[in-house]
Amino acid sequence: MTLTLDVNGERHVLEVDPTRRLLGVLRDDLALTGAKLGCGEGACGACAVLLDGVPVVSCLLPVGAIAGRSVTTIEGLGETATSLQQAFVTEDALQCGFCTPGQVVSATALLQATSQPSRDEIRVAMAGNLCRCGAYPKIERAILRASGRAVT
C-alpha cells in the first residue's frame, strides 16, 4: 500500500504493509529511534508519539489506519520539549532513561493543553507512562518546573 504520512513536519510517501505498526515504521523505515519498544502491548508508554497533537502509543497503531495524518516524535518536538528535557536533567528525573522520550512526549502534550497543570492533572496525564526505575516524584517535579510553577 502507498500511503502519505506527515512526520515532524515532513511529508513521506511510504510503500508499506498497512498492518505494520507505526513504531516499527518510525524506527526502521524513517530512522527515528527516539520512541522505544518497551512492552509492545500498549501498557508502558515508551513508544508514545503525538498523532495530530494527541499522545498515542505507536506500538499498537497500524500505519494503514493513520494515512494522511500528522505524527510528531520526540525528535520533532519544539521549545516546550527542550524546556522539559532541561527540567528532567535539573530534577534528576531519570535513571536508565528508557522511558524518558515517552514521558517527555506526554508531558509536552500536557503543557501544550494546560500551561500550568496541577499535580493531580500531571498524574492523570502521565498515568500511561510507566517508569520501571520509579522516578515518578522527580518526573512530576520536572513537569512542574518546566511549567514555571514553584517546585517544593
Residue with smaller CB distance to ligand FES, 40 or 64: 40
Per-residue CA distances from 33 to 3, 60, 108, 119 (Å)? 21, 16, 18, 30
Binds ligand FES by CB under 6 A, chosen from 1, 17, 43, 92: 43
By CB under 6 A, tell whether 131 contacts ligand FES: yes
By CB under 6 A, tell whether 55 contacts ligand FES: no
**Phi, psi (rounded to 5 degrees) for 3:** -140, 155
By CB under 6 A, tell whether 87 contacts ligand FES: no
Q: Which of 82, 80, 89 has its CA nearest to residue 138?
A: 89
d(CA 88, CA 126): 14
Residue with smaller CB distance to ligand FES, 78 or 134: 134
Residues engaged in binding ligand FES (CB under 6 A): 37-40, 42-47, 57, 59, 94-99, 131-133, 135
